[in-house]
Amino acid sequence: MSGSESFLSPEVEAIFKKFSGLLENDREQNDTLPEPHRSQIKHGPNCDELPNAHGEFGRSPSNPIPTNGPLGEVIYLSRLRTKPARRWWRLGSRGPGSPIMFHRLGSQDGSIGSVDAYEVLSLDGNVRETLYLSMYHPRKSKKVPNGYTYATKLDPDNIIYGVNHTVQNFPQNLDAHIRKWQKEMWRIPLPVHRVREAINGSRFRPSVLSAEKNVDPMLLDKHGRDIPYNQPHHTPNKPRQEHLVNLPSRVSFPQQWKSEQAMALISSGQLEEGGELAYRAVKQDPSDWQAHYALGQFFRFSQDFPQACVALARAHELSPRHAPVLLALAVARQHNQEYEASAHAIKLALEIDPDYAVAYNTLAMTQKFVNRRRT
């Protein structure tokens, strides 16, 4: 596997495309709903604005925004953008319209069913208000409240910007609530970089829900001893029944997908998401070398070199002919000051692939440390 080779197989990329189709297609979203809510939504008013509505669109409970189900509400709000400041229009540019973070405050009776109230807050902090949505419709409204625009597609750096339940002390810990909601809905975490940057100041500073912390002894070292790995434990919420969405069977996430996607997330800098997915992959199939490799890389990039050495050594045991695994193990051992063992791993990698240029550089650096120790 070369450094430029993609970590995602064609099969995994196909799964992503199907999943993207679910996020973009109202009909597919409706098909995931259980009965009788599916029929109620499919046969609801197909409109951009409710007939006989009164009050300001989206800002009055008597004139809510039509959407298709609970997932439709989340996707609609995740595509809303505040309008750019006028100075950008004068310069002939659309400018930086801001996405909005959100959470559901509650619901009240409406003309065709309950109306959901969402508190929204723009990422730039300039807009904070309550918007009202109705979810009993076969599609999302093409209309937006005054002062907003609608993005042509979801943001790949932050697909979902909020949740359809109440978040205490909103927007505090919103990134953690979004990730928890995503995993309960779809069994996978998706990027929340922009929300995390807005509330914590850095995409590499994730929030943690204190009730979710748990130590799960899973990894074994070569002597059979448990190595504790801190893994969030998720306790399902008790949302309204219509908020429970069944993912279509055609969008499945096999073991191979977990391992490859974990590696892709880690390689792109999404350590928290990739590490958790790698952990789940190892736990599901301890014989999967790619899962141990991804977990080892997570530990290495997190500068937890002892655990990186254990995980990568296990990956090498399961797949002894993969030079990149040996190189990663060598680098982890180098950082762990196991210089002789590091040099040995690199030499094994070069026996497998004599043209592995990066390995020669790493070997030279490791040899310098070995020589210093001997002098």
Running along the chain, 375 residues long, what does each successive block of 10 average in pLDDT? 42 61 89 87 95 93 95 96 65 65 90 88 93 96 96 87 94 92 78 89 78 37 32 33 36 55 76 81 88 89 86 93 89 87 87 78 71 63
pLDDT of residue 132: 96
| Residue 70 to residues 166, 336, 370, Cα–Cα distance (Å) | 14, 48, 60
No. of H helices and E strands in the chain?
14, 8
Q: Which two tokens stand for residue 261?
A: 């996607």
Q: Helix or strand or coil: residue 362?
A: helix
pLDDT of residue 14: 59
| Residue 74 to residues 41, 125, 228, Cα–Cα distance (Å) | 15, 20, 36
DSSP state, residue 118: E
The C-alpha atoms of residue 232 and residue 234 are separated, in whole angstroms, by: 6
Residue 133 pairs in a beta bridge with: 65, 116
| Contact status, residue 108 vs residue 117, Cβ threshold 8 Å | yes
pTM (whole model) above 0.95: no
pLDDT of residue 275: 83
pLDDT of residue 220: 32
Mention every residue, 6+ apart, whose C-beta is less than 8 A from residue 128.
119, 120, 121, 122
pLDDT of residue 229: 36
Domains and CATH numbers, the chain: 32-84+94-207 (no CATH), 220-374 (1.25.40.10)
Q: Beta strand 226-230 with 215-220: parallel, antiparallel or unpaired?
A: antiparallel
Q: Helix or strand or coil: residue 297?
A: helix
Q: Which two tokens stand for residue 142?
A: 């093409």
pLDDT of residue 5: 39
For 232, phi and psi rounded to 5 degrees?
-60, 135
